[in-house]
Amino acid sequence: MTAPTLPGLEPAAPTPVAVPRPGSRAARMALPRSVDVLKEIAAEYGVCVRPLAMRRTDLDTGLTEVIDLPCGATREDKCAPCAKKNRRLRQAQIREGWHRDDEPLPPPEPATEEQKALILFRAHLEFSRDEAIRAAEWGQVEELDEGIREVEEAITAEGLRGRVGPPHAGVDEDADDDTGRRRKRSTKRRQDAPELPRRKVERRTVGRTYTAADGTTYRPSMWLTLTLDSYGPVRPDGTPVNPDRYDYRRAAWDAVHFPRLLDRFWQNLRRCEGWNVQYAGCVEPQRRLAPHAHFAIRGTIPRDTLRTVAAATYHQVWWPAVDVQQYTADRPPVWDEDAAAWVDPDTHQPLTTWTEALDAIDDNPHAEPVHVVRFGTQVDARGVMPGTTDAERTIRYVTKYITKHTGDVHKATTDRQRKHLDRLWRELRVTPCTDRCANWLLYGVQPKKAHAKLKPGRCKGKVHQRDTLGIGGRRILISRDWSGKTLSDHKHDVRAWVRALLGTTTDSGAADNTRQLVDDQGDTVERVRHAWELARPDDPDVGPLSHRLMRSISERARWRSELLAAKDRAAQGSTDLSATQHNARHDGEEGDSGRGFDHRAGRGPDQHE
């Protein structure tokens, strides 16, 4: 206990670690804020901390209920519980597809009432979004976009294939450029690439089985890491030995076009191997801040083949030259309303249009691509046997960073590292991201579909942002016939298992509100007659976030103990441990916090956190 000191009478002597006077402001500030604790507990229980409130009206009774949908964020800093849930689903997805020995073929089914209701709901959201845009309620638009994404996942989980409509600008993560109709261009160039054998690609996606002398069969799979080329020697901390000679320009362009290079690799590999090779993996920054990619591959491929294909694979970028930066963000070209074109600020001459620039490339028999991306010589590949701890460890490794922003994977902690990041970023800021990038204006070229609103040199594209390190697109890459399921399907599996275990069809897990949307009872239950709309945060029945969180936590806690009891009963009874149960134990949202939950089940070969 410290005796209270009167103000002005504190001893001048050096106060050791100052314990704030009880009751003082400092003491109060040292106490944890209850709202923070609430969020912490929510995270422990896997309850979304920024739920989206939806109002559901029963059309028969007129009863209205506000239901929280999880936000579905994939990054920890937005919502840790949702990000973790997402990671576990990814792990399940990788695990299921990796060693499967039959071809994944999703069965088509007729549309159910539930599916129709979802599509209708999706339509309502579309309408509200349009209204919100007209009213310039951007916060609302953002929320609706989240809602749309969630509903589309639910739609997929309901077994409908394809997208209801194209994504709205700003919603789509891929920000895929639309090089679409490619111009016919000379293929005479780049004959220095080694020739690859070409075979007809079979529809098979499953690897070969090997039989040992004792009759045991093995179906090994692979693990592959692909890296980019060297831009100059680096130290163990990832920074260049000689920053002035490090090729930042090439590093930036390579990072931006890395996804294309990976696409080419899989194309080439399939052609070379003659079967439809499947993969699941992710793109992460290395310590030197260049992207690399890890993949689980189904089946085995000789290491030599992987190396040869990697060495032979390249991606040419046929864009206008960027040797001379004619303008800067401070002295940019200007938009001329009459000419409907970007013009030089002094001469008022229009800049070269995109079409003119590409025509010039086509007409020049000696034209070279402005950039060629290739892999580095480091290609790591090894075999992994199904069901081993090695396989599980690998899956965890693949998904380790997916809840983090690219920029947060390797934090710059020293001056050298900060400078390295700065230099790379400076280059990325002026690297064109797509054919519509506003940065083209710096090089005296009007991008494709140029318009008055472009900000020369200040393109908003993701790759130009400091924390993306030029890795602007999707970081999780999963081939189409990997598990035959989408992420939402895996989510659905987990729920189906939980329901089966509890032996109920009721809403015992009401905290997980998407259940309301994806209930698969179809026509065996009474038809769904609900209207959905987005609740506004200031609606009186929505209630403060803290109240909603507390409700969800309490529901989740009760649900969890109910599930535990059911699991214990199941452990004593049936010995049938289905594959879905295996997944759910590791990946289900009910396993979120650990808390001894996993271990209570006490079954299965692998125990992890």
Shortest CB 44 distance to Zn ion, Å: 14
Cβ(260)–Cβ(315) below 8 Å? yes
Distance (Å) of CA 425 to CA 261, 418, 431: 21, 10, 10
Closer to Zn ion by CB, 71 or 154: give it.
71
For 34, the enclosing helix (H) or strand (E) is helix 34-44
- Candidates 164-172, 427-435, 505-513, 558-566; binding stretch for Zn ion (CB under 5 A): 427-435
In the complex, the smallest distance separating the C-beta of residue 79 from Zn ion, rounded to whole angstroms, is: 3
> Judged by CB under 5 A, does residue 322 bind Zn ion?
no
Closest CA to 280 of 394, 376, 153, 167: 394
Q: Would you state the torsion angle of the CA atoms of residues 508, 511, 514, 515, taken in this order, to the nearest 10 degrees?
A: 0
Q: For residues 553 and 559, what is the distance between their CA atoms, to the nearest angstrom?
A: 10
- Of 99 and 250, nearer to Zn ion (C-beta) is 250
Nearest alpha carbon to residue 592 among 93, 146, 87, 90: 87
Cα 27 to Cα 308: distance, rounded to the nearest angstrom:
65
**Calpha distance 297→75 (Å, rounded):** 25
With CB under 5 A, what is the number of residues at the site for Zn ion? Answer: 9
Strands lying side by side in the sheet with 52-58: 64-69, 52-58, 530-534
From the list 42, 67, 71, 283, which residue makes contact with Zn ion (rule: CB under 5 A)? 71
Q: Which is nearer to Zn ion, 48 or 584 (CB)?
A: 48
We find the least distance from the C-beta atom of residue 452 to Zn ion, in angstroms, to be 17
The span of 175-183, 431-439, 480-488, 529-537 binding Zn ion (CB under 5 A) equals 431-439
Instruction: Give the E-state strand segments of 150-215 in sequence order.
Output: 210-211
Cβ closer to Zn ion: 416 or 462? 462
Select 133 or 175, whichever has its Cβ closest to Zn ion.
175
Q: How far apart are the first and last CA of the chain?
A: 40
Nearer to Zn ion, 270 or 371 (CB): 371
Q: Which of 433, 442, 498, 553 binds Zn ion (CB under 5 A)?
A: 433
- Check residue 202 and report its DSSP letter: B
DSSP string, 370-381: SEEEEEEEEEEE
Task: Identify residue 26 by its one-letter amino acid code.
Answer: A
SS3 for 343? strand
Q: Could you give the CA distance from residue 583 to residue 88 in angstroms, rounded to a whole number?
A: 9
Helix (H) or strand (E) segment spanning residue 502: helix 487-502
Instruction: List all residues 6 or more positions away from 579 whose beta carbon is below 8 Å from its beta carbon.
Output: 96
Of the pair 224, 251, the CB lying nearest Zn ion is at 251
Q: Toward Zn ion, which CB reaches closer, 16 or 180?
A: 180
Instruction: Check: CB of residue 312 under 8 Å from CB of residue 276.
Output: no
The conformational region for residue 510 under phi > 0 = left, psi -120 to 50 = alpha, else beta, is: alpha
- Of the pair 280, 518, the CB lying nearest Zn ion is at 518
77-106: which residues touch Zn ion (CB under 5 A)?
79, 82
CB of 524 to Zn ion, least distance (A): 31
Among positions 154, 155, 450, 459, the unique one binding Zn ion when judged by CB under 5 A: 459
Mask 205-244, x = binds Zn ion (CB under 5 A)?
----------------------------------------
Phi, psi of 600 (to 5 degrees): -60, -35
Residue 395 vs 459, nearer CB to Zn ion:
459
User: Please, which residue, 301 or 433, has the CB nearer to Zn ion?
Assistant: 433
User: What is the rounded CA–CA span in Å between residue 210 and residue 223?
Assistant: 18
Binding segment for Zn ion (CB under 5 A), chosen from 146-154, 254-262, 457-465, 548-556, is 457-465
For residue 593 the two structure tokens come to: 């916090």
Cβ proximity to Zn ion, 79 vs 125, nearer residue:
79
> Closest approach of Cβ 318 to Zn ion, in Å?
17
Q: How far is the CB of 51 from Zn ion (least distance, A)?
A: 7
Which one of the spans 58-66, 454-462, 538-546, 591-599 is the region binding Zn ion (CB under 5 A)?
454-462
Could you give the CA distance from residue 389 to residue 125 in angstroms, rounded to a whole number? 45
Q: Find the part of the chain contacting Zn ion (CB under 5 A) among 62-70, 123-131, 195-203, 296-304.
A: 62-70
**Is 460 or 527 the residue whose CB approaches Zn ion more closely?**
460
Cβ at position 52, least distance to Zn ion in Å: 9
Site string for Zn ion, 17-56 (x = CB under 5 A): -------------------------------x--------
Q: How far is the CB of 208 from Zn ion (least distance, A)?
A: 42
Residue 129 CB, shortest distance to Zn ion, in Å, is 20
Rounded least distance, CB 221 to Zn ion, Å: 33
State which of positions 161-180 bind Zn ion (CB under 5 A): none
List 461, 472, 484, 509, residue binding Zn ion (CB under 5 A): 461
Q: Where are the beta strands (DSSP E) in 272-313?
A: 279-285, 291-297
Q: Considering only 4-12, 71-79, 123-131, 442-450, which stretch makes contact with Zn ion by CB under 5 A? A: 71-79
- Residue 541: CB minimum distance to Zn ion, A: 21
Instruction: Classify 604 as helix, strand or coil.
Output: coil
DSSP 328: -
Nearest partner of 485 among 115, 84, 90, 220, judged by Cα: 90
Integer Rg of the chain from CA? 28
Among 47, 80, 261, 437, binds Zn ion (CB under 5 A): 437
Residues lying near Zn ion in the complex (CB under 5 A)? 48, 70-71, 79, 82, 433, 437, 459, 461
